[in-house]
Chains A and B, each alone.
Chain A
Amino acid sequence: MTETTKTAARQRPLSPHLQIYRWSLTMALSILHRATGAALSVGLLMIVWWLVAAAGGEASYATFRAFAASPIGLLLMLGFSGAFYLHLANGIRHLIWDAGCGLEKEAADKSAKVAVIAAIVMTVVTWLLVVAYW
């Protein structure tokens, strides 16, 4: 207790963190991979709700459908789909790194751009399909 108070009072230097570094795309993607992962864990709840409602019966399924088709539901699904595609594209980047490829600075910068563009394209295509089937 006294040790931590003393340490805090002395204002010991900290290693550089988020607010110190100049933002780069690779860094943003690294953080977004975690953020989207956490968001998608919450998004799984909607899939659970969908399945449990379908197994439940007419009343529970109608409640789910009304929510899914509501502006909030659609906005959530738009967010989850965007988060999923970014997590997917960046996840594939991670798998390629795990194989020992593309770890050079230039390659990582390039694959970061590819991942962002791929995520945007996949999200747009998905929602164009939704609109087409509407």
Chain B
Amino acid sequence: MTNFRNPLKLARNHGASGTGTGHFITQRVTAIIIAPLAIWLIIGIISHMHADLTAMRAWIGHPVNAGLLSLLLIASFWHAAIGLGEIIQDYVHCATKKLAALLAVNVLCGLLGLVSTLAVVKLLLV
């Protein structure tokens, strides 16, 4: 009987990680978001080196800064989760340990991303 299945259908989602191009594209999109924003943050931190808590809170809580910071945080933790996941997928061969490590990395990155973004939101609403 003729096999009507497209060879791509058989190859797709069968790599080491189970998925591929989705992460590949997300990793690059987040990288492009992080690059300018991280430099902006470094400049922001250096120029507020001597700021007291009130001034620092005002800077973080400014709507534009809070928005850019939130975007940077979400993009960074997403980028970190994919990057750390890639390292785990390459070096952890035991399926159970790999699953546990990936779960831990994703939960931690999600949690820390949320916590830091909420801190920014709190200062926005102060």
Give me the interface of A with B, judged by CB distance under 8 Å.
34, 37-38, 40-41, 44-45, 47-48, 51-52, 54-55, 57-58, 61, 81, 84, 88, 91-92, 95, 98, 126, 129-130, 133-134
Contacts and interface: CB of A to CB of B under 8 A. Distances in A.
Nearest to B82: A37
Given A38-B87, A40-B80, A41-B80, A88 B47 contact: no
9 contacts: A34-B87, A41-B84, A44-B77, A48-B119, A51-B116, A52-B115, A55-B123, A88-B38, A129-B46
Chain A interface, >50% SS class: helix
A58 B80 CA distance: 30
Contact of A58 (B53, B60, B123): B53
B42 A88 contact: no
B115 A48 contact: yes
Contacts of A45: 112
Contact of B31 (A38, A81, A95): A95
Given A126-B46, A130-B49, A38 B84 contact: yes
Interface residues of B, number: 30
B57 interface: yes
A81 B73 CA distance: 17
A84 B77 contact: no
Given A84-B38, A133-B46, A54 B76 contact: no
Contacts of A44: 76-77, 80, 112
Contacts of A38: 83-84, 87
B16 to A, nearest CB: 16
Contacts of A47: 73, 76, 116
Given A44-B80, A58-B53, A126-B46, A52 B28 contact: no
